[in-house]
Structure 1
């Protein structure tokens, strides 16, 4: 069984654990960080050691860290590389991670490091493929009946779980209204992506809208054959 490591911080990361356990065959090993951290951490390695940070999270080949702190994320990346992690996924975007430093760690160690503002933009690469084939950019399969959505199967969905909730709530919606409704449902989901800007939750909504459009087009082609 594939094991995914998750580093949580406060409320961040717990929904990912729930989604992994509910919507995949993966198991999870996790550890947590304090919700409130200093703005600057001069010695992140020492800071983590003083926290008695549980290194067992690095027994997983793929680790997702919600450290959301540039200094601490770099320290975690170094520890992950030293412990043989193949892929480190960093939600929160460049503002929460020192990207140049992470690139150096990746180049030196060979560990894949993916920094994404929102996890539903995650693309697969050879190191993270087993995770990113289930969680990341949404992929759907849809069935319609009498001009309405009859069923939406989630092939790949957002790690926060919004895709599965959207799929359930789309059943019975008229086909012509379904794509914008898909985006609206994702925005209404209690996702913790940034709101009030053009990125964040708005990007997630657009990704889900386009995924549904593609699924409807695929179903139409199947029905023509």
Structure 2
């Protein structure tokens, strides 16, 4: 499967570097018009099975969507835009963050991508006291923050303080653009901390139980931020 990373130069460069290690990937530059509305915009895109759009202008994003290929919106423009886009091309995903995507969509190309990049998944070994002995990222964020921050977990002990620190390190490495409802850095940090706890709890229920009240609170915050309620 070939993936096209479409950018106007501001975002997507790190995702390109990370994704191309796992899939044939092409870097595609798109214009960033100064006008609010651009009529009859034509984009000449190389043929790809999936496009990931990091463009910041909605009309440029619509031109990508109009190619009728699966598209992941790395920069989104809200629910109204998404409804308009889906009237043109149904095979579009605008995930809450690029690290929340799962391989459960109706689009085979997006699912193939999301087996590797999306909601974090870990293979961990922990000691009885909750100390992380080893950790391997099975699925992580396309910006590389999952791998970069998780390396620092070796030898640390699961605790609310450590989870907060891990979330902050994810935010540090995160390249999330702050546009519309897409890729809030705080959500990215919370999702990573939650999934880390899930992975540890699967192999050491006792360790996970020590931070249960903290993780319950994380779940509430994630739900509130994603739903806007």
- TM-score under structure 2 length normalisation: 0.77
Residue 7 of structure 1 is matched in structure 2 by 6
Q: Does 1:42 align with 2:38?
A: yes
Given candidates 187, 198, 214, the residue that maps to 1:203 is: 187
Instruction: Look up the match of 1:182.
Output: 166
Instruction: Note the residue ranges of structure 1 that are not aligned, 5 or more in a row.
Output: none
> Could you say what secondary structure the match of 2:125 adopts?
strand
Q: Structure 2 vs 1, CA of residues 139 and 162 (structure 1 numbering), >3 Å: closer, same or farther?
A: same
The answer to whether the aligner puts 1:191 opposite 2:175 as a matched pair is yes
2:211 aligned residue: none
1:98 alignment partner, SS class: helix
Q: CA deviation at 1:21?
A: 2.6
Give distance in 2, aligned partners of 1:126 and 1:100: 17
Report which of the two has the higher share of helix. Answer: 1
CA 37–143 in structure 1, closer or farther in 2 if over 3 Å, else same: same
Post-superposition shift, 1:191? 2.1
* 2:122 alignment counterpart: 140
CA 1:134–1:97 in 2, change beyond 3 Å: closer, same or farther? Answer: farther
Structure 2 unaligned spans of 5+: 208-229
Query: 1:139-193, CA deviations, whole angstroms, 9 ceiling, x for partnerless residues?
Result: 1121124742122111111111110111111112122254323212102215234
Aligned length: 200
CA distance in 2, matches of 1:202, 1:42: 33
Distance, in Å, in 1 between the alignment partners of 2:49 and 2:8 is: 20
Give the aligned CA root-mean-square deviation in angstroms.
2.6
Q: SS at 1:92's partner residue? A: coil
Structure with the larger strand share: 1
The CA deviation at 1:92 is 1.8
